[in-house]
Amino acid sequence: MEAISAFFNEYGALLAGGTWDTIVMTGLSTLFAYVLGIPLGVAVVVTSPDGLRPNRAVHTILGWIVNIGRSIPFIILLVAIIPFTRLIVGTSLGVPGAIVPLVVSAAPFVGRMVEQSLLEVDASLVEAAESFGANMWQIVTKVLVRESLPSLIRGVAITFIAVFGYSAMAGMVGAGGLGDIAIRYGYQRYQGDVMIATIVILVVLVQIVQSLGDLAAHKLDKRNR
């Protein structure tokens, strides 16, 4: 117990700060990724051959954007867009410097997640809405999004956890958070206790997020009412 107490006296504040930075970094990045990814996913579905407004050219271009964005490893993207990151937030270091590449990397992933969720909606519901005279905006918001909400919520949890992992990699270039602590103390200084502590915190946070996502999806699923 004395060893544990001494460890937290020495590293408790550091780990608490790193945990908070990681949560802020991941939360804001996930939020902005969905701001970009939801319209992207909706546009892919709407312009598909069986969509509400078929447009092969637009659909193909959007598909390429999503696929290219998802194909670039995050660690490479992180370094490649440093000039763009500095242009947007003025720095490539710390939490602000990590958010931009995290959003750029996660937005195509979100777009694909949203596309898959919307495609799960029964086509007969869309046909029924069209027969009642609903316009495209009404069909998207009141049919596609509403009916796919449980799947979208699960997608948020999955995206948050994926971005969580990316944020740890961002620590390799001084982005802050638990990844930075694990690299500086656990790897560079060979302090295994700090490395283990960061891993435990990451596992706990992931479990909490996944549980909350599953609970929210279960509550919103009409089949469970």
> Which ranges of the chain does DSSP label H, i.e. alpha helix?
2-46, 56-71, 74-80, 82-89, 94-119, 123-131, 136-139, 146-147, 149-170, 177-181, 192-220
Whether 99 has a pLDDT exceeding 60, the answer reads yes
Sequence-distant (6+) residues with CB within 8 A of 58 are 43, 47
Residue 83 sits in which domain range?
2-224
CATH number at residue 146: 1.10.3720.10
113-157 pLDDT tens trace = 999 999 888 888 888 888 888 888 888 888 888 888 888 999 999
**CA 30, CA 102: separation in Å to the nearest integer?**
8
How large is the average pLDDT for residues 83-109?
87
Q: 113-140 in b/e burial notation, b at 16+ Cβ within 10 A?
A: bbbebbbebeeeebeebeeeebeeeebb
Whether 49 has a pLDDT exceeding 60, the answer reads yes
What's the predicted TM-score (pTM) here?
Answer: 0.88
Residue 222: per-residue pLDDT: 66
How large is the average pLDDT for residues 24-38?
92
Lookup result for tokens 């479990």: 207
Better-scored residue on pLDDT, 110 or 187: 110
**CA 59, CA 140: separation in Å to the nearest integer?**
17
Residue 110: per-residue pLDDT: 93
Residue 108: per-residue pLDDT: 92
The sign of the dihedral angle between the CA atoms of 35, 38, 40, 46 is: negative
Whether 223 has a pLDDT exceeding 70, the answer reads no
167-186 pLDDT tens trace = 877 776 667 788 888 888 87
Whether 221 has a pLDDT exceeding 80, the answer reads no
**CA 56, CA 47: separation in Å to the nearest integer?**
7
Residue 14: per-residue pLDDT: 86
What's the number of domains the chain is made of?
1
